[in-house]
A and B are shown apart, each in its own frame.
Chain A
Amino acid sequence: MTFNVTEVLEIPIGVGSITVESLLYFAVILVVGVAVARVVSTNVRRALMERLPKSERELLVKLVYYGIVLWALVIALPQLKFDLSGLLVAGGIAGLVIGFASQSVVSNLVSGLFLMFEHPIKIGDGINVAGVSGSVEDIRILSTIVKTHDGIFTRIPNEKVFTSNITNYVHNAARRFEYQISVRYEDDADAAIRIIKEVIWTHPFALKSPAPSVFVDNFGDDGVNLTAYIWAPARNWWDVRTSLLWQIKQKLEENGIEMPYPQRTVWFADELKVTTGDTGTKGAEE
Chain B
Amino acid sequence: MMFGRYNDTFRYESGDILVETERIGGLLTYLRRCEGQTFERLLVSETAEIVINPVEPVNLPKEITDYLLMEFSPMLIEPGVTQTVYLKFPVEVGVFLEAARDIEVLDVFGLGTQKYTLYGPPTSGVIARWYRSAVYTEVPTVEPFREGVMELSIQNASHEWAEVSCAVFDSVDMKIYYNNVVTTTARMKIITPTMAETDFTDAPLRPDMTRSIELYTVRKIPVINRGYLMEWGLS
Q: Which residue numbers of A lie inside 8 Å of B, CB to CB?
A: 172-175, 201-202, 204-205, 207-210, 231, 233, 235-236
Contacts and interface: CB of A to CB of B under 8 A. Distances in A.
Contact of B113 (A172, A204, A210, A236): A204
B130 A208 contact: yes
**Could you say which of A172, A174, A205 has the most chain B C-beta atoms within 10 Å of its C-beta?**
A174
A172 B123 CA distance: 5
Contacts of A204: 60-61, 113-116
B113 A173 contact: no
Nearest to B132: A208
A122 to B, nearest CB: 16
A236 B118 CA distance: 13
Given A233-B64, A235-B64, A208 B125 contact: no
Contacts of B31: none
Contact of A173 (B61, B115, B122, B130): B122
B124 interface: yes
B122 A172 contact: yes
Contacts of A231: 118, 122
Interface of B: 60-61, 64-65, 113-120, 122-127, 130
A73 B119 CA distance: 58
Contacts of B114: 204
A231 B176 CA distance: 31
Contacts of B117: 207-209
Q: For the complex of A and B, list the 8 residue pairs with the smallest distance between their C-beta atoms, beginning with the closest.
A: A208-B117, A204-B114, A174-B122, A209-B117, A172-B122, A174-B118, A233-B127, A172-B123
Given A204-B113, A235-B64, A210 B127 contact: no
9 contacts: A172-B124, A173-B120, A173-B126, A174-B122, A174-B127, A204-B114, A208-B115, A210-B118, A235-B64
B176 to A, nearest CB: 21
Contacts of B127: 173-174, 207, 233
Nearest to B129: A204
A236 B130 contact: no
Nearest to B130: A208
Contacts of A173: 118, 120, 122-127
Contact of A205 (B64, B120, B125): B64
B118 A205 contact: no
Contacts of A233: 64-65, 116, 127
Contacts of A208: 115-117, 130
B14 to A, nearest CB: 24
A233 B66 CA distance: 13
A168 to B, nearest CB: 12
A258 B77 CA distance: 50
A207 B118 contact: yes
Nearest to B118: A174
A205 B116 contact: yes
B122 A236 contact: no
Contacts of B113: 202, 204
Contacts of A236: 64
A175 B122 contact: yes
Contacts of B64: 205, 233, 235-236
Contacts of B123: 172-173
A142 B116 CA distance: 40
Contacts of A209: 117-119, 130
A203 to B, nearest CB: 9
A156 to B, nearest CB: 25
Contacts of A174: 118, 122, 125, 127
A35 B210 CA distance: 57
A231 to B, nearest CB: 7
Nearest to A175: B122
B116 to A, nearest CB: 6
A38 B84 CA distance: 57
Contacts of B120: 173
A211 to B, nearest CB: 9
A210 B115 contact: no
Contacts of A202: 113
Given A174-B127, A207-B118, A233-B65, 20 more contacts: A172-B124, A173-B120, A173-B125, A173-B126, A173-B127, A174-B118, A201-B115, A202-B113, A204-B60, A204-B113, A207-B116, A208-B115, A208-B116, A208-B117, A208-B130, A209-B117, A209-B119, A231-B118, A231-B122, A235-B64
Which of B65, B113, B116, B130 gathers the greatest number of chain A CB atoms within 10 Å? B116
